[in-house]
Structures are given as structure tokens and as C-alpha cells.
A = this chain, B = another copy of it.
Amino acid sequence: MSLFLSTSINKVDKKGRVSVPSTFRAALGDDVHHGIVIFRSLQVDALDACSLKHLDILSQSLEKLSLTPEMYELIETTIFGGSVQCAIDADGRIIIPEHFMEAVGIDDEAAFVGRRRTFQIWNPKKFKAFETKARDAVRSHNISLSKIIADASALNGGE
């Protein structure tokens, strides 16, 4: 079971190269050879990324939603039209296209944030601010993790 977990901050060198965290590369498995797909997040000021295979799964599940043709068109253009496939070199690095870097304000450092099947790439400072806010919001909604876990256990017959 390989998921993208945890957050790590890596440097972007003069040539625009960044190391993809080794744990993420491991999670990709054989898919590393096909590189990763990057597109702008629709929700937050960051980039979304996943394996090529996962993008395929995403598009399939999109088809199952009953979206209006206009909405579908919109998503197609935004996500698939705006996505780029990035090769991962022998040293585990990618080059994020210039316009993406600018769009989300990444310069000399990039934060890789795991989100299970996908991950995000942030400007570390922006992410930190977002994380702090997110943490407070989750806490203030009194969503207790242990409660969720208890529910999870119940769903699985208490096993």
C-alpha cells in the first residue's frame, strides 16, 4: 500500500531542478519511469501532482459524475489542458515548468505535501501559513481524530 505521506522541503537549484522526495518516488513504484503529471490546484495556491496512471483514474471517475457538459468542458480544459508531464531523472529530480513556478510563487524552495494518492507542491512559506490555518479550522470544528478512527473501526466490524 503506497501512499504519499508527509511533507518535505527541497531546494530548487539554478537550473530549476528539484528532488522529488525519495518516499514519494518509492510510492510511485514502477510509475516513476513515466514521470509525474502536474497541474494547478483548483482549490489552493499550489500545484497538484500524481502519477500518469492516477490521472487516468481521475478522468474515469470524472466521467461517472453527472456533470453538465459545460462543467465537464471546463474541467477538461483546466485540468487536462493545463497539465504537464514531468520526467524524473536518474537522480530523482524534476524540472517544474517556469510558468507553474511563477503561478504559485515557488522560487528557491519547494514543499512536497503528501495527500495519499496525490501530492501538492507549495511555496514553503505559503504552505506553512495554510497549514496553521487548516489545523485551527479542523480543531475548531471539533473533529476529533480518535472519533473518526472509532467510526472507522466500527465500519470494519471492530476488527
Contact = CB atoms under 8 A, between A and B. Distances in A.
Interface of A: 1, 3-7, 23, 34, 37, 41-44, 48, 50, 52-62, 64-65, 69-71, 73-85, 113-118, 120, 130-131, 134-135, 137-139, 141, 143-146, 148-149, 151-153, 155-156, 159
Contacts of A52: 1, 3
**Secondary structure type dominating chain A contacts:** helix
A54 to B, nearest CB: 7
Given A42-B135, A60-B152, A61-B155, A81 B113 contact: yes
9 contacts: A3-B52, A5-B80, A7-B81, A43-B144, A58-B149, A65-B151, A76-B115, A80-B114, A80-B116
B1 A34 contact: yes
Nearest to A72: B43
A137 to B, nearest CB: 5
A56 B153 CA distance: 11
Query: For the complex formed by this chain, how many copies does it contain in all?
Result: 2
Contacts of A70: 43
A159 to B, nearest CB: 6
Given A6-B83, A42-B138, A143 B75 contact: yes
B53 A1 contact: yes
Contacts of A130: 77
Contacts of A145: 41-43, 48, 58, 79
